[in-house]
């Protein structure tokens, strides 16, 4: 039987999240099965006990309930031992009065390598990456940040909500949704791909089903 080489490097959008067994602060778990049927955000950070990462973990934790309201879980990762994660969590609790309640992966480097999280110019530290994974374990969004820049968790929240709305309603989401400069909180109807549909769009716009600037730029408010 022909051997199929395991895919390495950064997974692509639309790929299934690779299966892996990991040690976390909540015990050993298997991904993506641990979050079966749910969305999850896996985010890597360069190292424990570092200032920017500390602000990020506090920010994620303060928004955990908002993620959970969208049936979306959080899980962190860095190439640190689980003991370091635990001591760092204790420091955050004691000094910042925030209890980290989501699991953190204690990676030996194998997970980071599989996900393409080690920058060759940054030693063994993981980059600031974000993987947004849907309820079918498909990777929907990948974000990368340099070590010097902390992430905007409200944008990650917005992205998860927007993707869920897009999936449910078969629509596209405008820039800065729900506060787009042109159409406000409306969503975009995918462009027509044939002449008949293009003509139909204008007729439906005249009938008040949605609004159009032209047949290729139609939008509506979700009920």
Q: What is the mean pLDDT of residues 160-166?
A: 98
Query: Is residue 147 domain-resident?
Result: yes
The verdict on 147 and 197 lying in the same domain is: no
| pLDDT exceeds 60 at position 123 | no
- How far apart CA 223 and CA 218 sit, in angstroms, is 16
Last residue of a domain, one of 151, 185, 209: 151
The verdict on 218 and 141 lying in the same domain is: no
Query: Is residue 156 domain-resident?
Result: no
The verdict on 147 and 108 lying in the same domain is: yes
Q: How far is CA 109 from CA 81, 105, 132, in A?
A: 11, 11, 21
**Tokens of residue 44, six digits:** 């890597």
Q: How many CB atoms lie within 10 A of CB 179?
A: 10
CATH (domain of 211): 3.30.1020.10
Q: What is the mean pLDDT of residues 70-85?
A: 95
Query: Is residue 5 domain-resident?
Result: no
Query: Is residue 162 domain-resident?
Result: no
pLDDT attached to residue 9: 56
The verdict on 99 and 192 lying in the same domain is: no
- Catalytic residues, by residue number, are 53
Residue 170's pLDDT band (cuts 50, 70, 90):
very high
pLDDT attached to residue 192: 87
| Helices vs. strands in the chain: H and E counts, helices first | 6, 10
User: What are the DSSP E strand ranges found in 150-220?
Assistant: 187-189, 211-214, 217-220
23: Cα separation from own chain's centroid: 21
Q: What is the mean pLDDT of residues 156-185?
A: 97
The verdict on 91 and 36 lying in the same domain is: yes
pLDDT tens-digit series, residues 31-62 = 999 999 999 999 999 899 999 999 999 999 99
The verdict on 146 and 176 lying in the same domain is: no
Residue 223's pLDDT band (cuts 50, 70, 90):
confident
**Tokens of residue 155, six digits:** 């944008």
The verdict on 40 and 129 lying in the same domain is: yes
Query: Is residue 45 domain-resident?
Result: yes
Closest CA to 16 of 164, 163, 160, 137: 137
pTM over 0.95: no
CATH (domain of 83): 3.40.30.10
- How far apart CA 198 and CA 184 sit, in angstroms, is 23
The verdict on 176 and 211 lying in the same domain is: yes
Q: How far is CA 15 from CA 19, 67, 133, 142, 169, in A?
A: 12, 22, 10, 11, 22
Domain that holds residue 60: 20-151
The verdict on 60 and 107 lying in the same domain is: yes
């Amino acid at each position: 039987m022909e051997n199929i080489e395991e895919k390495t490097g950064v997974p692509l959008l639309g790929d299934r999240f690779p299966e892996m067994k990991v040690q976390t602060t909540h015990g050993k778990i298997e991904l993506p099965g641990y979050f079966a049927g749910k969305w999850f955000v896996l985010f890597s950070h360069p190292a424990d006990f570092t200032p920017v990462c500390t602000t990020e973990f506090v920010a994620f934790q303060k928004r955990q309930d908002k993620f959970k309201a969208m049936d979306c879980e959080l899980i962190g990762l860095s190439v640190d031992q689980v003991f370091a994660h635990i001591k760092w969590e204790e420091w955050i609790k004691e000094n910042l009065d925030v209890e980290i309640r989501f699991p953190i992966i204690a990676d030996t480097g194998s997970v980071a390598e599989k996900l393409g999280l080690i920058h060759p110019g940054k030693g063994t530290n993981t980059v600031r990456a974000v993987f947004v994974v849907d309820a079918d374990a498909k990777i929907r969004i990948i974000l990368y940040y340099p070590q010097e820049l902390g992430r905007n968790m409200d944008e990650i929240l917005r992205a998860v909500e927007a993707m869920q709305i897009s999936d449910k309603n078969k629509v596209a989401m405008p820039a800065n949704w729900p506060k787009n400069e042109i159409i406000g909180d409306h969503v975009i109807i995918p462009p027509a791909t044939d002449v008949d549909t293009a003509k139909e769009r204008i007729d439906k716009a005249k009938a008040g089903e949605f609004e159009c600037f032209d047949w290729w730029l139609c939008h509506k408010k979700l009920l």
